[in-house]
Amino acid sequence: MHITDTMPEKREQHLCEDCAEKAGVIIKQTHHTTNEILQQFIKHKTGLGGGDDLACPKCGLTFKEFQVKGLLGCPHDYVAFAALLTPLIQRAHEGGTHHVGKVPPTAEATVKKQTGLLRLRRELQEAIDQENYERAARVRDQIRTLEIG
Amino acid sequence: MTIDDLTKTTGEWLRGVGPMSDIVVSSRIRLARNLAEHPFLTTADAGQRTEIYRCLSQAITSTSPGKDDLLVDLETADLIDRNVLVERHLISRQHAAAEGSRGVTVSPNETRAVMINEEDHLRMQGLRSGLQLEELWAEINDVDDSLAKDLAFAFDRRLGYLTACPTNVGTGIRVSVMLHLPALRLTKEIERVARAARDLRLAVRGLYGEGTEAIGDLYQVSNQTTLGKSEEAIIHTFSETIIPNIVGYERTARETLARHHESQLDDRIGRAYGVLCNARRISSGETQSLLSPIHMGIQMGRFKEFDLHTLHELFLYTQPAHLQKMQGRSLDEDQRAVARADYIRKRLAPK
């Protein structure tokens, strides 16, 4: 450990970690930040080849630029660089590949609508198969209402 | 409300109340969000950046939770004001030092701060004294819901909320708990605890987040995994397992010190008080290192010269930006060392 004490006058000390602790000096944390770990991994991946000249058609960011900054350029990068990002994301998230958390209310409504439509179309098919045209007409109207909404 | 109004109190994170507040200083939950129709800030040009800032600042202050918030335009705010916000844990150091259109909204009681145009378009954070993660999640989730009514966030069915850095993708959540662990450092067990936490894929950092030192024995423990686990599951692990375990280790270490090293413990506390009362020049780092054993002494009932409220005031108002704000002018490092020691001596002088 290397300490520079600037008060009252500049004085340099060279201490081992234990002595520095005894002297009541703050111990600097020796750990890597998330981005540093990510950078190392990104660089390692480059060693495996490929992706350098890949660019996102929407924002123009290249994969090489992402490797330097550690930050993406737009939401579409997740699609444009999917093949290269997937193993990286998996590694950064303990093997996690799918979101299981909160869904924005608007997306939730879309999902509900889609699953609702799927269910109703299945019901419509069943009604037709059973030649229950009255029910089929009712279901068809429900589908139309949901599609418009 | 102005930044000057904020500095009249020590704010939410230094209230010293809430569950486990003998060791847990504060809890924080942050959500990262981006607008779907705009590029991330890495590639956004100045015009787009300004547009994002305008749209989001308006959206936040027009929601019901945010209507009384203080909006600070950080592009025009002066350096001391920006650093006051950093010292109050309302914005990151990076956000204070960055350039271009950006800002923050702060709730009147400082339990909520939303950074606009930091690494992501939006970083909403809730802050509470002590261990109060469930309450925080309810509040910040509500803010997110209110904003999502009018704004479309970048979201993918498989990957969840899309963030500028792939390490935040999914829930975009960061749960962060600040712990005061002086006894674990004194008994030299801190590295072992920090290693165990890192093995659980948790980040252990210093007072001001990523890449900072553990000044005054304050450590921030936070999750790094944001994909493949729900917000509730992450929060539950923190409040039921991780934090109670670390708190348990620190309490045991404090008992060990009191039982087997009583005179050394009281000597450390007493000397710290002696230096604070008599120093004529002092750095903020040294101040925080000296306040640490006193903080532990107060919590253990071994130090009675002043209370927790005074300790929190000394902690916050001796930091560079607060000190300059109090003095009403900018001071260089040398002047600050003298002004800081003067302030502490006056604050601790017998009434």
pLDDT in tens, A24-74: 443 333 344 555 556 555 555 544 445 667 999 999 999 999 999 999 999
pLDDT at A4 over 70: no
Full 3-state SS string of chain B: CCHHHHCCCCCCCCCCCCCCCCCEEEEEEEEEECECCCCCCCCCCHHHHHHHHHHHHHHHHHCCCCCCCEEEECCCCCHHHHHHHHHCCCCCHHHHHCCCCCEEEECCCCCEEEEECCCCCEEEEEEEECCCHHHHHHHHHHHHHHHHCCCCECEECCCEECCCCHHHCECCEEEEEEEECHHHHHCCCHHHHHHHHHHCCEEEEECCECCCCCHHHEEEEEECCCCCCCHHHHHHHHHHHHHHHHHHHHHHHHHHHHHHCHHHHHHHHHHHHHHHHHCCCCCHHHHHHHHHHHHHHHHCCCCCCCCHHHHHHHHHHCCHHHHHHHHCCCCCHHHHHHHHHHHHHHHHCCC
The minimal CB distance from A101 to the residues B152, B171, B213 is found for: B171
- Summarised one tens digit per residue, pLDDT across range A65-113 is 999 999 999 999 999 999 999 999 999 999 999 999 999 887 666 666 6
Residues B70 and B100 sit within 8 Å (Cβ to Cβ): no
- Chain B interface includes A2 (CB < 8 A): no
Residue A80 has a CB neighbour count (10 Å cut-off) of 21
The confidence score (pLDDT) of residue B32 equals: 98
Q: What residue in A sits closest to B159 (Cα-Cα)?
A: A99
Distance CA B260, CA B339 (A): 39
The minimal CB distance from A73 to the residues B39, B152, B157 is found for: B39
- Chain B interface includes A7 (CB < 8 A): yes
Contact A104 B225 (CB under 8 A): no
The pTM of this model reads 0.82
Q: What residue in B sits closest to A97 (Cα-Cα)?
A: B228
Average pLDDT per run of 10 along chain B, which is 351 residues long?
Answer: 87 84 96 95 96 95 89 96 96 96 96 97 96 95 93 94 97 97 94 91 78 80 96 96 96 97 97 98 96 97 95 95 95 98 95 73
More confident call, A28 vs A139: A139
The minimal CB distance from A31 to the residues B156, B204, B228 is found for: B204
Contacts with B285 from chain A: Cβ below 8 Å: 26
